[in-house]
Amino acid sequence: MREPGRPDPEPLLRRVQEEEARAQRAKLKVFFGAAPGVGKTFAMLAEARERKAQGVDVVAGIVETHGRAETEAMAEGLEILPRHDLAYGGLFLPEFDLDRALARRPALILMDELAHSNVQGSRHVKRWQDILELLDAGIDVYTTLNVQHLESLRDVVAQITGIVVRENVPDTVLERADEVELVDLPPDELLVRLKEGKVYLPDQARHAKDRFFRKGNLLALRELALRHTAESVDAQMRRYMASEGIHKTWAAGDRLLVCVAPTELSTRLIRATRRMAGALGAPWVAVYVETPRHLKYSEVDRARIEANLRLAEKLGGETAVVEGSIHMADDILAFAHARNITKIIVGKPSRPRWQEVVQGSLVDSLIRQSGEIDVYVITGDREAEAAKARLTARITSPLQNYLLSALIVGLTTGLSGLAFRRTELADIAMIYLLGILIVATRFGRGPSTLASLLSVAAFDFFFIPPYGTFAVGDFRHMGTFGVMLLIGVVIGNLTERNRAQARLARSREQRTQALYHLGQDLARSSGSKALVASAIQCVTTQFHSQAAVLLPDAAGRLQAPPDHQLTFPLNEQERGVAQWVFDHGEPAGLGTNTLPGARATYLPLRGAVGAIGVMGVLPEGAPRWAEPDQRQLLEAFANQTALALERSLLAEQGALDRRRADEERLRNALLSSVSHDLRTPLGVITGAVSTALDTPNLPEPARRELLQSAQEEAQRLHRLVSNLLDITRLESGALELHTEWTPMEEVVGAALNRRELAAEAQRIRVAIPVDLPLVAMDGVLMEQLILNLLDNALKYSPPGTPVDIKAWAAGKSLTLSISDQGPGIAMGDEERIFEKLARGQAASNRPGAGLGLAICKGIVTAHGGRIQAVNHPQGGAQFLVTLPLGTPPAMPEEPA
Amino acid sequence: MNAPAPLILLVEDEPQMRRFLRVSLEGSGYRYLEAATGQEGLALAAQHRPEAILLDLGLPDMDGLDLVARLREWSQTPVIVISARGQESDKVAALDAGADDYLTKPFGTRELLARVRVALRHAGPEAEEPVFVLDRWRVDLAKRQVLVDGREVHLTPLEYSLFTTLIRHAGKVVTHRQLLKEVWGGAAGAQPLYLRVYMTQLRHKLEEEPSRPKYLQTEPGVGYRLFTES
């Protein structure tokens, strides 16, 4: 329990963090007004002049003076950023030049008309997106906004003025503002100004002028603007209260949920929820329940669902798609409970009462089962429009099915004709029912309804007296007709629903499968290159499109992976879009609101700390991800890829760091060891030679002995230097294998002839079978390997004892064994001796930099083989080199 | 009649190497000339017509390979290339460009003098001896007969051709390419693999201990040598 009156540390911390972030990040100030003409631009310019007078670097990005003299006078003396002309429909339209503004980097930029829509060809669709990018770049922004352009107030404004505003700004943009200044002008004064022609209106709005600028409208809009400003002040106040430990005035943690449907009503519900959430300071979520009905929706409806979900996102809400059953209320409530929702907003039902009695009402079941959750039911006015927009496209059966069902009715009629007069009339009805049943289960609702109707007609025509007419003699038969019809329709409907559900399940399963496969593929791929390849493969097959993954180089410029052939046409422009996505961590390109002119869609690969790369997807034809579920799937793909890729990149980086550290340590050890091993022979040579030179009257045998030792030490030095060169070549990767099919005997023979072994060559016993297969190897390296191993064996075994070299082939490999009769290898050293600088315990007092065996291992590994050291059962050490065998090319036979 | 001692030209940029070689060669009775650069070497070769040239591949002013090629435009003087281990491809290139043999640094005086002797022998007027004798071997080139310890050994035509090619270049290294060209006549598809297989067969027929050949020696990465001095 917290002490009363003590500030809650968490909001306090949050406020401190927010304030810090705010102090660092650029500031947005909005000059907010009720209507055009209240003087927002003027107020903005006035303040900008003040700031400029204080020495702030102010630039006018966009200032719309609309030719008003007083406003133009205010703008005088401000640096005005030149616009660039964008080609659009044969015209060149001037538009704000975002890149120039970013390059200019003023401290403060003026951006009039927050709600403006950019000319096509601009980077962003809307000006507010430009402004967010400017803010992200650390540039303060002043902007102006009229209340009717605020997304959440759109409907209210439409209700008041009867004008639907097209240019909207998400509420989140206004919330992002550090300061909102209300520019207020009483309606009477505004009307006077309007009469004086001081209010500028765009041409297309001029005809609406009289409707819009009525005093009643202006009063209502002014109230809206005032109220909205008050709310935002209130929100600041609440933040302040919470952080200062002033008790909250309501129960904490309200969470709102609004249900999304493909209707116009739903759009208004979302805006209403946003307003309510704003007033409560509560988070909210828009939920779409995907029921089997989803499949029956037409393209128009699906697009509307997506648009509604996007709207919710734009308004700052969270969105979720819940997979549902036919009991939608249960699904909604389950989701609500899981997410601690306190309030659910639904629309007032618009269906006729009888439908609700038959099918149940969502609102009723929600209210009945909601328990502690409040349910708000909001009026859906102007229902006429919603009612007319029933555009649900039914799953249509192909014509063929209708023909087949007619055929089946014909068959049953024939069968009934055969049975007629031999059985009861009821049996005939049964035969028809059987036909209907077959059609219903096979072909669905439409054909089964047709079959029912045809059956009733045929039954009546052929088998009910009077025969050959549709007249009905006995009224009782009407009951039979009714039952036949009903059964046909009911079964048809049931089948239809089953099929729909199956189809939905299938598409869900496909999605899950796709993600699962991606996950599997990613898990199987090791290394970032393989990961990228399998992600591209998965996206390509799932979305029928070309895909590319671009990763940044050290300077943060996106590069296509070098070894991966791009089928993806990545010209300078597309690369620019991808770079923007990478820099801003937001999707862009085809089908988005940013740079929609691009040929492909680009998604950021978001890692834990910002984007780690960009995935570009180029559709073949229309993008498959226009639908929300496909889009979510694509995003899920990108996210999963990003996670796997980040993990792999981190692992690779870690391994690289470790290897560098290891190399560093080894280099140091090598240096100290080598410098010792180099100095010793050098010392001997210098000493011996200078003695031989400088000692007068040195007897001949002594002089010879001195030179002999100088020669031996020189050879040792030579060996050491060769080893150093070899290990360097092996490790730097400069080693190139020149493999050729070579008999092992030849390489062994070459090694045995080497001068280095000459002194002790007689100790070596060779046993290599004549019929040994050829091995693909680099003869020079392999000779070096054998020489090193023989040298090693001779060095570590008593003088005079034999060293054996043997070879044999077994299965798909050839083994070379070199064994001595020395002390063997100390326990536990079997692996270690192949490491650089490692020497067996027995060798610690012997010369040599401990490189020979490391070189051997490097050579064998380069050949795809294995080397191991064991202790021979009869004593002594045994080195086993195993090399893979292949199939050498056939040789022409020569007559002997 | 005593002919003057053979003249050897050394092209080498390392003064200490030159000093060592001068002492060794003059000590063994050869006349000696030295050049520190390729240009100087070419000039001296043209002026003095040495009997053999020792050439270091790593010269400051020009590529040793170029020097060999330019020399071969007008002179057949034997060239022995000096290079380090690990540069097998350079050696092969030099040999294919017309050099006669090579020495791998570091080398001893015995090795140096042996190579020089072989080079000078091949440079002399070559009366094609009808019979080649080496240790236990006796090859009658006219009768195409090979005897080991007096017993005739049967060689296939390709084995015989390979063997006699090595005999023609006795003591010198012969590269894989040279052998393939001389024995297989540049037949399509002929590969070093053939050479290795026939060489192995030859060793098993002629050498006492085929896995430790005394005469039919392998020069890894370069070629083969019929070793004539022990």
Rounded to a whole number, what is the distance in angstroms from the first to the last CA of chain B? Answer: 30
Pairing type for strands B101-105 and B79-84 reads parallel
**DSSP 3-state of A108:** strand
| Interchain pair A753, B218: CB under 8 A | yes
CB contact at 8 A, A585 and A602: no
Would the pLDDT of B91 be above 80?
Answer: yes
Minimal-distance CA residue of chain A relative to B225: A750
Select the residue of A742, A889, A894 nearest B196 (Cβ to Cβ): A742
Please give, rounded to a whole number of angstroms, the shortest distance from the CA of A726 to a CA of chain B: 9
Average pLDDT over residues A138-146: 90
Exposed e or buried b for every residue in A661-680, given b needs 16+ CB within 10 A?
eeeeeeeeebeebbeebbee
Please give, rounded to a whole number of angstroms, the shortest distance from the CA of B73 to a CA of chain A: 31
| Interchain pair A749, B199: CB under 8 A | no
Chain A residues in contact with B215 by the CB 8 A cut-off are: none
Name the pLDDT band for A250 (thresholds 50, 70, 90).
Answer: very low
- Mean pLDDT is lowest, of A411-415, A670-674, A755-759, B90-94, for A670-674
Q: Tell me what ipTM this predicted complex has.
A: 0.89
Residue A793 amino acid letter: A
| Interchain pair B193, A740: CB under 8 A | yes
Minimal-distance CA residue of chain A relative to B89: A738
DSSP string over A197-230 = T-S---HHHHTTHHHHT-HHHHHHHHHHHHHHHH
**Residue with more model confidence, A12 or A394:** A12
In terms of Cβ atoms closer than 10 Å to its own Cβ (0-12, 13-18, 19+), residue A354 is exposed
Chain B residues in contact with A765 by the CB 8 A cut-off are: none
| Interchain pair A746, B200: CB under 8 A | yes
For residue A710, the tally of other CB atoms under 10 A from its CB is 20
| Interchain pair B196, A743: CB under 8 A | yes
- Res A86: pLDDT: 78
- Mean pLDDT is lowest, of A174-183, A267-276, B123-132, for B123-132
DSSP A140: E
Select the residue of B86, B193, B200 nearest A888 (Cβ to Cβ): B193
CB contact at 8 A, B29 and B6: no
| Interchain pair A749, B211: CB under 8 A | yes
| Interchain pair A740, B203: CB under 8 A | no
Dihedral sign, Cα of residue B23, residue B26, residue B30, residue B31? positive
Would the pLDDT of A402 be above 80?
Answer: yes
- Mean pLDDT is lowest, of A151-160, A599-608, A700-709, for A151-160
- Res A504: pLDDT: 76
In terms of Cβ atoms closer than 10 Å to its own Cβ (0-12, 13-18, 19+), residue A796 is buried
As a whole number, the mean pLDDT across chain A is 80
Helical residues (DSSP H) of chain B, grouped into ranges = 15-27, 38-48, 64-72, 88-97, 109-123, 157-168, 176-184, 192-206
Please give, rounded to a whole number of angstroms, the shortest distance from the CA of B89 to a CA of chain A: 10
Average pLDDT over residues A621-640: 76
Question: Which residues, other chains included, contact A805 with Cβ-Cβ below 8 Å and sequence gap of 6+?
Answer: A748, A764, A765, A766, A767, A768, A786, A790, A816, A817, A818
Question: Which residues, other chains included, contact B189 with Cβ-Cβ below 8 Å and sequence gap of 6+?
Answer: none
- Res A22: pLDDT: 57
Name the pLDDT band for A845 (thresholds 50, 70, 90).
Answer: very low
Interface of B with A (CB under 8 A): 85-86, 88, 106, 111, 154, 156-158, 191-194, 196-197, 199-200, 203-204, 209-213, 217-221
DSSP string over B179-211 = HHHHHHTT-TT--HHHHHHHHHHHHHHH-SSTT
A17-71 pLDDT per residue, tens = 766 665 567 889 999 988 888 888 888 988 888 888 888 899 988 888 777 777 7
Chain B residues in contact with A729 by the CB 8 A cut-off are: 86
Size of interface A-B (CB pairs under 8 A): 77
- Res A383: pLDDT: 41
Minimal-distance CA residue of chain A relative to B189: A891
Select the residue of A741, A755, A779 nearest B220 (Cβ to Cβ): A779
A406-465 pLDDT per residue, tens = 888 888 888 888 888 788 878 888 888 888 888 887 777 788 888 888 888 888 888 887
Would the pLDDT of A1 be above 60?
Answer: no
Rounded to a whole number, what is the distance in angstroms from the first to the last CA of chain A? Answer: 103
| Interchain pair A738, B218: CB under 8 A | no
Would the pLDDT of A595 be above 70?
Answer: yes
Nearest to A618 by CA among A521, A548, A518, A531: A548
Chain B residues in contact with A782 by the CB 8 A cut-off are: 220
Name the pLDDT band for A374 (thresholds 50, 70, 90).
Answer: confident
> Distance between CA B230 and CA B214 in Å, rounded?
9
**DSSP 3-state of B121:** helix
Chain A residues in contact with B157 by the CB 8 A cut-off are: 894
Helix B157-168 to helix B192-206 angle (10° resolution) is 90
| Interchain pair B197, A891: CB under 8 A | yes
CB contact at 8 A, B78 and B33: no
Q: Name the CA radius of gyration of chain A, rounded.
A: 43
Chain B residues in contact with A755 by the CB 8 A cut-off are: 111
> Distance between CA A639 and CA A522 in Å, rounded?
12
For residue A127, the tally of other CB atoms under 10 A from its CB is 25
Residues 727-786 in A contacting B (C-alpha not used; CB under 8 Å): 729, 738, 740-743, 745-750, 752-753, 755, 766, 768, 770, 774, 778-780, 782-783
| Interchain pair B86, A738: CB under 8 A | no
| Interchain pair A749, B196: CB under 8 A | no
Instruction: Kindly state the percentage of chain A with pLDDT values over 70.
Output: 85
Average pLDDT over residues A813-828: 89
For residue A124, the tally of other CB atoms under 10 A from its CB is 22
CB contact at 8 A, B54 and B10: yes
Please give, rounded to a whole number of angstroms, the shortest distance from the CA of A727 to a CA of chain B: 12
> Distance between CA A496 and CA A293 in Å, rounded?
11
**Residue with more model confidence, A165 or B42:** B42
- Res A833: pLDDT: 82
Chain A residues in contact with B86 by the CB 8 A cut-off are: 722, 725-726, 729, 780
